[in-house]
Amino acid sequence: PPSGAHLPTPSEGPEGGPGAPGQRPERSPAARCFLLPPRPRAASSPSKCGRFPGSRPPEAASLSKPPPLAKTLRRPAAQVPQPLQQLSPSVPRPVPCDSRSQDQRRLFVRLQLAQGREERQWRGCQLQPEICAAFSGVVQGLLRLPNIFHFSQATFNLALTIFSHLLASVKVNKKLLHIIMVTSLRLAVKVNEEEELIPHVKDFIKHYGSGYSPSELLRMELAILDRLHWDLYLATPLDFLTLFHALVVLSWPQVMELLPQRNPSLHVASLTRQLQHCMAGHQLLQFKGSTLALVIITLELERLRPDCCTPISDLLKKAQVSMEQYVPCKELVRQQLRSF
């Protein structure tokens, strides 16, 4: 207060005298100014204090009552995670995939593709009587040779298929059967084997066809390719044998317990040798490769389980083989396997 100013006591009145009891004494203007709190600063405009329109200035925000602590810590109800069934009850649960049924469908598709190729390329083969005996000797002689180049059984089976397809489309001199067989194997090697595993033509001739020159082998290759229209993508009996075997193992797992050492690969290898022995019989050239493979599989199933008829009937439906073809082929295969 200014010097010399007198601050009235509560017992004094407006003029400095005693006030009436029960009445609040009136203060001087100087005293009222001294006791009032300082005037707050004027809040600046939102456009000057905040970057966003409508934001509150810091001074005005500091004067407002802070929200309760519980409200600030409480999570909004819309953000509370809920179980998946409550969020999307209409979404169906994923159904577990059966790998065995998928494999069966995949094998059936491959079987249909192989049947389509066989139907397109098949020509019934009736050998000339003068080359029937020579045919069996040439095929069995090839299969008895040691496999020093480690060719696959699929390569040998393709060679026998090329050989039989050629004999079904053209008449062949008996003297040419051996070079045709050797050339068919050479073509099958070029189709099936890796390039680094294909032997040199001189090494190949030395082991399989001594007495022929490379030029003779090349001329025979061109003659065979021209006769078969350069189409060596043939459906072989071994293709059907492996497909039928896989279908049986997948459809009836109990057959696995009857296999030797419970090893499907060893069982297929044994059946492949039977198949190639049957392909050396000229009487069986009149049947398709799928029919021959089906007969070998069914004969093996009859040997493993004589009372099992369901797999055989199912294979007959999938192979689309008529009984008119199946029954005579089965009798000829039994006769051929007696010398196996």
**Per residue in 152-195, pLDDT tens?**
999 999 999 999 999 988 889 999 999 999 999 999 999 999 99
Residue type, position 228, single letter: L
**Per residue in 91-116, pLDDT tens?**
455 445 567 788 888 998 999 999 99
**DSSP of 300-313:** HHHHH-TT--HHHH
For residue 265, count CB atoms less than 10 angstroms from its CB and return exposed for 0-12, middle for 13-18, buried for 19 or more: exposed
Chain mean pLDDT for the chain: 78
**DSSP of 225-290:** HHHTTT------HHHHHHHHHHHHHHH-GGGGGGSGGG-HHHHHHHHHHHHHHHHT-GGGGGS-HH
| pLDDT (tens place) for every residue of the chain, 340 residues total | 444 444 444 444 444 444 444 455 455 554 444 445 555 555 444 444 444 445 454 444 444 455 554 444 444 555 544 444 444 445 455 445 567 788 888 998 999 999 999 998 887 777 888 898 899 999 999 999 999 999 999 999 999 999 999 998 888 999 999 999 999 999 999 999 999 989 999 999 999 987 899 999 999 999 999 999 999 999 999 999 999 999 988 888 888 788 777 788 889 999 999 999 999 999 999 999 999 999 999 999 888 887 777 778 888 888 888 889 999 999 999 999 998 8
| Number of neighbours of residue 248 by Cβ within 10 angstroms | 21
Which of 138, 127, 185 has the alpha carbon at shortest distance from 161? 185
Residue type, position 65, single letter: K
Crossing angle of helices 132-144/153-169, nearest 10°? 160
Rounded Cα distance between 122 and 153, Å, is: 22
Rounded Cα distance between 292 and 237, Å, is: 7
| Number of neighbours of residue 220 by Cβ within 10 angstroms | 20
Query: Is residue 329 a contact partner of residue 295, using CB atoms and an 8 Å limit?
Result: yes
What is the SS3 assignment for 34?
helix
Helix, strand and coil content of the chain, in percent to the nearest 5, comes to: 65, 0, 35
Sign of CA dihedral 298, 300, 305, 306: positive
Rounded Cα distance between 131 and 62, Å, is: 113
Residue type, position 293, single letter: A
Rounded Cα distance between 216 and 178, Å, is: 12
Q: Write down the CATH superfamily of domain 101-337.
A: Cyclin-like (1.10.472.10)
What is the SS3 assignment for 3?
coil
Q: How far is CA 99 from CA 105, 243, 251, in A?
A: 10, 17, 12
